[in-house]
Amino acid sequence: MIIAVTGTPGAGKTTVSKLLAQKLGYEYVSLRDYAIEKGIGEMKGDELEVEVDELAYNFERDFKGKDVVVDGHLSHFLNTDLVVVLRAHPRLIGERLTERGYSREKIGENVEAELVDVILVEALEENENVIEVDTTGKTPEEVVNEILGLIEKGVEKRVGVVDWSEVYDEVIPYLRL
C-alpha cells in the first residue's frame, strides 16, 4: 500500500511519516529528496519547482505495488491508496515557520493556506481516499496511532475535522492583509 502524507509546510508531515513508516514496516520516502535524486524539477532559490505530472509518472514507475509512506506537500498529486492530510492550528504553522527563519511573506502564505484548507481541497479534488487528521495538541505518537486506528477500521474517507475560521482572529498578525 502507498500512503501519502501531505499538509501545509510545518504541519508535521516528516515527523509523522517517519514514525508511521516505522510502525507499519514500510519504506519512508521524502518526495523532495526523491525529486532531487531523479533530477526532476529545478531549484529556484531555496525552492524546488517540479512538474507534478513528471513527478507522478516517475513515482508510479518506481514505487507501484510497494509498501511506502511518501512525505511531501505534493504527495496528494501522486497515485496512492490513501492520502493523509495533516492539519495544525494556523498559529502553530506560524510559530514553527518563524522558528525556522522563513520570510514574513512565506510564513503569511502558509498560515493563510492552512486557514482556508488549501491542501485538503486539492487532495479531495485528486483523490477518493482522504483522511484528515488534526495534530493540534497531540504528540506525533498520538497522531500516528490515530492514523493506524483508522486504517485498521478500514476507514477510507474522513474529512471535516477542523474549522480554522473559528480561530481567524488569533492569526491575524501572520496574515498578508
Ligand X SMILES: Nc1ncnc2c1ncn2[C@@H]1O[C@H](COP(=O)(O)OP(=O)(O)OP(=O)(O)O)[C@@H](O)[C@H]1O
By CB under 6 A, name the binding residues for ligand X: 7, 9-16, 73, 96, 135, 138-140, 143
Torsional sign, CA 146, 148, 149, 150: positive
| Cα–Cα distance for residue pair 142/23, rounded to 1 Å | 12
Residue 15 binds which entry of Mg ion, ligand X, none, with Cβ cut-offs from 5 to 8 Å by kind?
ligand X
Report which of 79, 82, 62 is spatially closest to residue 5, judged by C-alpha positions: 82
Q: In terms of CB distance, is 79 or 145 closer to ligand X? A: 145
Q: In terms of CB distance, is 8 or 127 closer to ligand X? A: 8
For position 79 contacting Mg ion by CB under 5 A, the verdict is: no
Residue 96 binds which entry of Mg ion, ligand X, none, with Cβ cut-offs from 5 to 8 Å by kind?
ligand X
Shortest spacing between CB 75 and Mg ion, in angstroms = 11
Q: In terms of CB distance, is 64 or 116 closer to ligand X? A: 116
| Cα–Cα distance for residue pair 78/68, rounded to 1 Å | 12
Residue 143 binds which entry of ligand X, Mg ion, none, with Cβ cut-offs from 5 to 8 Å by kind?
ligand X
Q: In terms of CB distance, is 97 or 130 closer to Mg ion? A: 97
Cβ atoms of 55 and 35 within 8 Å: the answer is: yes
Shortest spacing between CB 70 and ligand X, in angstroms = 12
Max Cα separation, the chain?
46
* Distance from the Cα of residue 167 to its chain's centroid: 21
Residue 12 binds which entry of ligand X, Mg ion, none, with Cβ cut-offs from 5 to 8 Å by kind?
ligand X
Contacts with Mg ion by CB under 5 A lie at 13-14
